[in-house]
A and B are shown apart, each in its own frame.
Chain A
Amino acid sequence: MMSPKTSGNGLHGGTVQNGSMLGVDTRRGPLRCAPIESVTKRQHRQPPPATEHQFRLTARHVCIISATVALVASLTTLLGWFANAPRLTDWIVTDIPMFANTATASALLALALLLDALYRNSTRTVVRLLAALATSIGAATLVEHLSGINLGIDTLLVHPSYGMRAVTAIGRMGPPASTSITLLGIGILLAKAKAARRRAVPVLSIIVLAACSLSIDGYLFNADPLFAIARVTAISLQAAVIIWVLALALLVSVADLEPVRTLYEQSAAGALARRSLPFTICAPAVLGWLFILARRAEVFDRGLGMAALVLVLSAVFCGVVAWCVAGLKKHEEISRQSLLRLKRSEEELQMQRTQLQTMIENTPECVKLVARDGTILTMNTAGLTMVEADSVEAVLGQNVYDIIAPEYREKFRRMNERVCSGSKEILEFELVGFKGTRRWMETHGAPLKDAATGEWVHLGVTRDITARKHAELELERANKQLAGFLEMAAVGLHRVSKDGTILWANQAELDMLGYSAEEYIGHPITEFHADAPVINDILKRLTCGEKLYGYEARVKCKDGSIKDVVIDSSVLWENGEFIHTQCFTRDVTEFKRAQDALRDNERQLRDLIEAMPAAVYTTDAEGHITMFNRAAVEFSGRTPQIGTDSWCVTWKLYWPDGTRLPHDQCPMALALKEGRALRGYEAIAERPDGTRVNFMPFPTPLHDKDGRLVGAVNMLVDITERKKAEEASARLAAIVKSSSDAIISKDLNGIIKTWNSAAERVFGYSAEEIVGKSIITLIPPERQHEEAEILRRIRSGQMVEHFETVRQRKDGGLFDVSLTISPVRNSRGEIVGASKILRDISEQKRDARRLQQRRERLEFLSETLGDLLNASNPAAIIRDLLPKMATRLGADTYFNYMVDKDGNGLKLQAYSGIPEDVARSIERLEFGQAICGTVAQTCRPIHAEDIQNTNYDKAHLVRSFGLQSYACNPLIVGERLLGTLSFASRTRPRFDEEDLQFLKIISQYIAVALDRLKSAEDLENTVAERTASLTEAMEQMEEFSYSVSHDLRGPLRAMDSYATVLLEEYGDKFDDIARGYVSKIQRSSERMNRLTNDVLVYSRVARSQMEFESIDIERIIDDVVDQHKNLQAPAATIRIVRPLLPVLGNETSLGQCVSNILNNAVKFVAPGVKPQVTISAVRTGRLVKIRFVDNGIGIKPEHQQRVFQMFERLHPEGKYDGTGIGLTIVRKAIEKMRGKVGIESDGTNGTCFWIELEADEPRSLDKGNR
């Protein structure tokens, strides 16, 4: 259907409604389409022909020219009035002038038409105004004429002095002019009005034209009544002409209206009008005029003239008719051709319609027309089938809603109404056929205008989509099933949006993690992963289009536990757009745990193998070593090379007979080749160091569960010992034979089996005599019960060791023996008897006590010695020692005398066994007095025995104490006597040799210990004294510095202050010289102050005890620079080539050094040079050299050592400020830090000061020494 269109046409545009091309006859049966045409309307659709356009242009031009001419003429007339030029107001001097009012009204009309033609719409209001003004002039005059009342308007502009020939009042416009002007004015106003009123315009124009023509005609033919009757026809020629022109202009200005329109129409009428009109108007007038002229000239008389006139007229009209006929014929031809074309296009349309009809009839879709109320107007065959109707009649007039399923009826009704209101719609609905079948339909409704009623009807094209719908429903069901399946799946499943939010998760996943749907869905997936990098990686991979299979991750359960899961995931993409991920999550926690357990098992197995004392290794099926334990390394004496070694871990192999055994023939190789465990082989392995090991291999092939050979394990058992044992047993037999101990063996019943020669000697029985007899024979009757116990223990596998008892010789004599009885086993390990080693210990027993005593004393000695040597206070040890010794010696009394300090006698140091008052009486002994004095004098020990019964004179004193025996030893170290040590007993008559020996040794020990004690004391005293003196010196030094800092500077300060006050208060009374002296005092004192300060710093550095620590030299430099304005920009540039390496040193001192060096470096620059210092560090071995390179004046090499000396200055005082101590302090401080300082300079281009210190690095040993 075409949509209505508007298009402008004509000079004053109008709207033309275009109808539809296809009209539909809705009253006929199956849909039929018919073209509905309107020829006229159709023509309007075509663009205007060229002639029409030209005509319009011409009309417009005519209008403009006419109006212009009229305007000019009117204005000249007015001018004539104002300029009093009668010729201009009365062209042909008939004394009927065109009055000013007429001229004015004409000018207004002319101007109105001109403006309208030129500017059309924009001047609409002005045009109306002008026309109205002119109309009012005309109308007023007309009123005057009709009523006879003089309104006074006639002479308003001009009072004419002539023109009285045909007027009713002076200067009054004539009736024709006033009427014409009124009509023209109304015509112009109407032309601007609506279409219906506009139709009056041509009528008005033509009336005016006619009236004016009449007047002009009058003038032409001198017919006075036509222009000179004052009350009726009075009009000047020029007024008639001007108004005629104006009427023409008005007529052509409405060229779109009849009759002018006909003039340009391509029709017979148009052609006729165009051709005949000019002649019809002009020919009679011209001929009439010629006729008059000829009469006046008396060329012919009236009869001839009339005849000629008629003749000419007839001829002219015949000619005109002939021309018109020709034109009409031509036009007829054109019409015929266009009719033919029309017919052809009609035929084409008919064909198209038929095609369309056929198409509609044959289309598988239902095409129907439905009225707004739902009445079915038409329906095609497919539609009939669809609704299960037998014929068209069955559906026509039926309501379409009846065949719509009830649930869709309302929807369809609304849709139908919308379509019938002009919109297009699509609807899916269910249709219930006349036979009750339900089908899914999709209808496309379009509005269609009914040709008959002009109302919109609903053209419905309906398609059976039952199959598609079923498919859709099926799909939906399948989707639901899938969703259900996924929901119920045992595997956890979720979907995640592009931004990582969980969109959906199935129950299995929720169950797995323990969350409810609300807690899980809608949350970011990252919340539930234990490892953020893992999930981020997953999302990144998925976004990149990767599919993940078996991605391992760990997720957080609600109960806080972590589950190991395996994720299979991919992204659902649609048209390249990320829809969501779908992610299968399998809980593999148990699996992992099992795996870990397996791994643990394997590790335990490995550990087990590793821990096995025997060499164990494994190989793969090809015999390559795959694993071995430490014992294997020890066994083979080498570390087997995994991947290259085969068959055996050993270096070289030999058969027991010494022949070489190649590795690929070793039992392991055989076991692998034969696939069975081999046992019973022996071989010898040689280690790289040449030692050999006898061993037994136990190769066992390993099979997997399918029985395939996968490798083998071998254990190498060292049988060197067994071999040795075998060899030894032979030797043993010999030993037994030749043993000095009796060696007897017996069975479990006590029957003697073997009997060696020593047994013969000890017991007196020969082997022949005793073998086969019971062991009881050798046991004295009262001890025979022992045998039962011995046999019991032997049977239970126990040994009887050093069982001391008594046995009986053949001669009946008894003797002490020590028995060692061991069970004897056969090769199967069963106990079959006992071997008995029997030793005669009669002698030994006697010695045993003595030995025991000796051993104890030795132990005591060694302990004591250790104590004495290790003790920090041996004196206390000695005090503890003496009672113990007394106990061991069986002594009840002891004395310890020491040489007294002046060395003149002995002083009792420790004692026991005598009362205190007695002890006081013998506290001091002279050398030579009593036994101790004698011992001290002679430096020899004295042993007095049986004192009470002898009269050894020196023993007088000890005899008085009731002592029986007395042993005194000197305590001597080298030649030096320290004192004496005596032990005595009231019960023992004497000390034996061993006691004395013991006493002697212990005395020596004690002497040495006491000596050590004394030396240590001496040393300590010395150190303490020295420390005291050092501390004193240090304190004095401190005191000195303190004094220097306080007192030395007092006078200086006073000097400076007085000088300042002097300058301040008396400065104006001094001349310049005096003031100069005072400032010299100030400068000197200031300099002295600085010197004092620097000396103080130096002394502090020199005497300080430095604690070493790791120093961040960069920080130190930064601090120093921060504290000194002259080191900062803009005064100077300090550049640090970072990083500087940390050094060992003392922070305070190093800070002082850096400060001095930097201040020194920026100080010595040439005038006008900005100081620059670059600090860098170089490490050489354990030393770090820090270099301070400046751009100063440099130091000549010959002066370089001097700068470090105190008070050395290389420049005269005043040139560069300074005390000459700064660098001395640096050198001292650095030397105290065990470093070095130095200078590099060529004497002109700057100086490099460097300090070298130990680098800070972890050194456990060195650090302790600092």
Chain B
Amino acid sequence: MILLVEDSEDDVFIMRHALKQAQITSRVEVVTDGQMALDYLAGQGRFGDRNAYPLPNIVFLDLKLPYLTGFEILSWIRTQPGLTGMTVVVLTSSGEDRDKTKAYSLGARSYLVKPPRAKDLTDLFQSFLGGQLERAPRTDNGGSSRS
């Protein structure tokens, strides 16, 4: 399943549209701020039920978020032993090199500039998950193996 961390409703719409176009039918869970993203990934607060809120195979992360920035979330994910293999893709409106460099240095697996295009998403899913998303979501912490 996909976790989309995005505060802009419009961008959520655009993302959903792009996923639809890319014919990616996986479940999409949206959280709208940094704290929620953290809670979701840690399985705390209202996201305590892992069955209702399973760990995502892929996280699309905006950089500018309320409460916690995308970079902070990336750094936090790095400190979580249970999340080390998770595929995090930064999805942001900034095309600046410094953001890109920083995102990659903090462990982002890919970096997309908004708006997301169907083709990019298809490629991304192919390269990182190999179509894994169509299968039942995994509950363990293992993401896809690095290729």
Contact = CB atoms under 8 A, between A and B. Distances in A.
A1057 B115 contact: yes
A1053 B17 contact: no
A1078 to B, nearest CB: 15
Contacts of B11: 1050, 1053-1054
A1053 B13 contact: no
Interface string A1036-1073: 00000010011101110110111001000000000000
Contacts of A1051: 10
Nearest to B64: A1046
Interface in B62-103: 63-64, 92-96
Contacts, number: 41
A1053 B94 contact: no
A107 to B, nearest CB: 104
B115 A1045 contact: no
Contacts of A1061: 13, 17
A1047 B115 contact: no
A1054 B96 contact: no
Contact of A1053 (B64, B93, B95, B96): B93
Given A1056-B115, A1057-B10, A1058-B10, A1050 B93 contact: yes
A1053 B92 contact: no
B70 to A, nearest CB: 11
Contacts of A1053: 10-11, 14, 93, 114-115
B94 A1046 contact: yes
A1046 B17 CA distance: 21
B94 A1054 contact: no
A1035 to B, nearest CB: 13
B8 interface: yes
Nearest to B63: A1046
Contacts of B95: 1045
Contact of B93 (A1045, A1056, A1057): A1045
Given A1053-B114, A1061-B17, A1046 B93 contact: yes
Interface in A1056-1094: 1056-1058, 1061
Contacts of A1058: 10, 13
Residue in A1046, A1047, A1058 whose Cβ sees the most chain B Cβ within 10 Å: A1046
B17 A1050 contact: no
A1057 B114 CA distance: 10
B14 A1057 contact: yes
Contacts of A1049: 93, 114
Interface residues of B, number: 15
Nearest to A1043: B64
Interface in B31-76: 63-64
A1061 B64 CA distance: 25
B111 to A, nearest CB: 14
Interface string B1-18: 000000010110110010
Nearest to A1100: B96
A1057 B94 contact: no
Contacts of B10: 1050-1051, 1053-1054, 1057-1058
A1042 B93 CA distance: 10
Contacts of A1057: 10, 13-14, 17, 115
A1045 B94 contact: yes
Contacts of A1046: 63-64, 92-94
Contacts of B14: 1053-1054, 1057
Interface string B95-133: 110000000000000000011000000000000000000
Contacts of B17: 1057, 1061
A1061 B95 CA distance: 24
Contact of B8 (A1042, A1045, A1050, A1056): A1050
A1047 B64 contact: yes
Contacts of B115: 1053, 1056-1057
Nearest to B97: A1148
Given A1047-B64, A1053-B10, A1053-B14, A1042 B114 contact: no
A1054 B8 contact: yes
Contacts of A1050: 8, 10-11, 93
B12 to A, nearest CB: 10
B84 to A, nearest CB: 29
A1050 B115 CA distance: 9
A1058 B9 CA distance: 12
Nearest to B18: A1057
A1045 B96 CA distance: 9
A863 to B, nearest CB: 53
A1057 B93 CA distance: 14
Interface in A997-1049: 1042, 1045-1047, 1049
A732 to B, nearest CB: 85
A1045 B115 CA distance: 13
Contacts of B96: 1042, 1045
Nearest to A1148: B97
Contacts of B114: 1049, 1053
Contacts of A1056: 115
A1047 B17 CA distance: 21
A129 B64 CA distance: 122
B120 to A, nearest CB: 14
A862 B95 CA distance: 63
A1042 B94 contact: yes
Nearest to A1057: B14
A814 B11 CA distance: 115
Contacts of B94: 1042, 1045-1046
A812 B95 CA distance: 108
A1051 B10 CA distance: 8
A1147 to B, nearest CB: 13
B114 to A, nearest CB: 6
A576 to B, nearest CB: 74
Nearest to A1056: B115
Contacts of A1045: 93-96
A1042 B99 CA distance: 10
A528 B124 CA distance: 65
A939 B93 CA distance: 69
A1154 B114 CA distance: 27
Nearest to B95: A1045
A1042 B71 CA distance: 15
B118 to A, nearest CB: 11
A1050 B10 CA distance: 8
Residue in A1045, A1053, A1056, A1057 whose Cβ sees the most chain B Cβ within 10 Å: A1057
A1058 B11 CA distance: 10
A828 to B, nearest CB: 90
A1047 B93 CA distance: 8
A1061 B17 CA distance: 8
A875 B101 CA distance: 47
A961 to B, nearest CB: 64
A1146 to B, nearest CB: 15
B69 to A, nearest CB: 11
A1042 B95 CA distance: 10
A1048 to B, nearest CB: 9
Contacts of B13: 1054, 1057-1058, 1061
A555 B93 CA distance: 74
Nearest to B92: A1046
A607 to B, nearest CB: 63
A1042 B63 CA distance: 12
Contacts of B93: 1045-1047, 1049-1050, 1053
Given A1046-B64, A1057-B115, A1061-B13, 18 more contacts: A1042-B94, A1042-B96, A1045-B93, A1045-B94, A1045-B95, A1045-B96, A1046-B63, A1046-B93, A1053-B10, A1053-B11, A1053-B14, A1053-B114, A1054-B8, A1054-B10, A1054-B14, A1057-B14, A1057-B17, A1058-B10
14 contacts: A1042-B96, A1045-B96, A1046-B92, A1047-B64, A1049-B93, A1050-B93, A1051-B10, A1053-B11, A1053-B114, A1053-B115, A1054-B10, A1054-B14, A1057-B10, A1057-B14
Would you list the 5 A-B pairs with minimal beta carbon distance, nearest first?
A1054-B10, A1057-B14, A1046-B93, A1053-B115, A1049-B93
